[in-house]
Amino acid sequence: MAEPTQTRARPRHLLLAAPGFALAATLIAGIVRSFGIDLAKVGAELSDRALPVIAIVAACLTIQFGLSAVKWMQVYRRVAGDAVPASGNLAVQFFYVALSGLFAQLLTAYLASILVRGFAERLHFRRRFALGASVSMYEQLFDAVALGIVGAPVVALLALGASPLAALGAGLAGALLVIPIVRLALRAGHPLQFAARLLPRWLPFAGAIKASSEVAREMELDAPPLVTRLLALSLLRYGAIAARTALVAVLLIPGLGLVSATTGFAAIQLSALLALTPGNIGITEWGWAGFGLYLGRDAAIFAAFALTLRAVTIVVTAAIVAIAGALAWGSLRATR
């Protein structure tokens, strides 16, 4: 399949990370100071539950990265057709997905994926950097749909005073209904491309998202069966992230139920769409503090949980990257 004309990645996107870092640092410092969080005490309390927390985070991250790698493979095989090189295997793609997950703590998730995937396309998969970047952005549209279709009704119902159970029920209903709705919409056109055209220009990466949707159309990545599979994989990936957060929250926050923890995740995770800080650092922590207040609980405990989960996630992700890198290197050596 011939490659379409592509737009170059804009250097100004890299500059967006600088104010994001400043905002993240300000928010983290503010939450530690505002709630008097003793980080040493938080670390000591984690040590009592370290093993189950690490096990949950490692299992859920492995599932999340695995689903993302499968999603990438679905798109890549469509793009490359019969010309898939030996390096285009799941082990290699898993490594790069995990690596982008680690870099997402330093950059926004959108930018980290674009840079890592673009590099992988150029180094291993015999494609141009711009192709990997465009296809990566297109794939992330499905992740954004999954995030929004669950989070938006949850936030709306919580704002109206509904119980966490009712709000979560609305979010789950959205997740169950979105695929049949998209299937119907595909008969009239491509709903993701239509939605991309409606994005306001002030949103981060709005222009890149629109460009990537056009590249996807040119490369026939908008075929209904592929769109349905990508959306289903994004929903499952979202579920893995939700499970990681909710299960650890139940372990670390006394008296918090699984329903409330999952509802809090769905509401807070919606803020990641704005990509204001690297890894949503600071925003997620303040979100959990606010959710604690919403439940009438001690906000400091919820904020400390969010800080703990982030720290554990970064460490475990780095370990997964190291293991996946060794496996990918062995896989590449075996194909030579």
The answer to whether the beta carbons of residues 135 and 77 sit under 8 Å apart is no
Residue 25 in tokens: 């640092």
What's the one-letter identity of residue 65? F
d(CA 66, CA 61): 8
Nearest Cα to 101, choosing from 80, 72, 134?
Answer: 72
- Spatial neighbors of 202 by CB under 8 A, at least 6 apart, are none
Residue 128 in tokens: 């141009």
Residue 24 in tokens: 């993240």
Q: For residue 312, what pLDDT is reported?
A: 94
Nearest Cα to 330, choosing from 87, 127, 125, 102?
Answer: 87
d(CA 33, CA 115): 34
d(CA 42, CA 325): 31
The answer to whether the beta carbons of residues 307 and 287 sit under 8 Å apart is no
Virtual torsion, Cα 188, 189, 192, 194, nearest 10 deg: -100
The answer to whether the beta carbons of residues 313 and 109 sit under 8 Å apart is no
Nearest Cα to 71, choosing from 239, 233, 179?
Answer: 233
Q: For residue 332, what pLDDT is reported?
A: 74
| For the chain, percent of residues with pLDDT exceeding 90 | 39
Main-chain dihedrals φ then ψ at residue 115, nearest 5 degrees: -70, -45
Residue whose token pair is 């737009």? 7
Burial class (CB in 10 A: 0-12, 13-18, 19+), 12: exposed
Residue whose token pair is 């919580």? 158
d(CA 226, CA 208): 21
> What's 19's DSSP letter?
H
User: Mean pLDDT over residues 81-108, rounded?
Assistant: 76
pLDDT in tens, 1-44: 444 444 444 444 555 567 777 888 888 888 888 888 877 777 77
Residue whose token pair is 């030579």? 336
Q: What is the pTM of this model?
A: 0.85
In this structure, of 49-53, 151-155, 236-240, 277-281, the range with the lowest mean pLDDT score is: 277-281
pLDDT in tens, 102-156: 988 877 777 788 788 778 777 766 666 666 677 777 788 888 888 889 999 999 9
pLDDT in tens, 295-306: 999 999 999 999
Mean pLDDT of the chain: 81
The answer to whether the beta carbons of residues 328 and 95 sit under 8 Å apart is yes
Per-residue pLDDT for 322 more than 80?
A: yes
Nearest Cα to 227, choosing from 177, 176, 178?
Answer: 178
Burial class (CB in 10 A: 0-12, 13-18, 19+), 297: middle
- Spatial neighbors of 118 by CB under 8 A, at least 6 apart, are 9, 129, 130, 131, 132, 133, 136
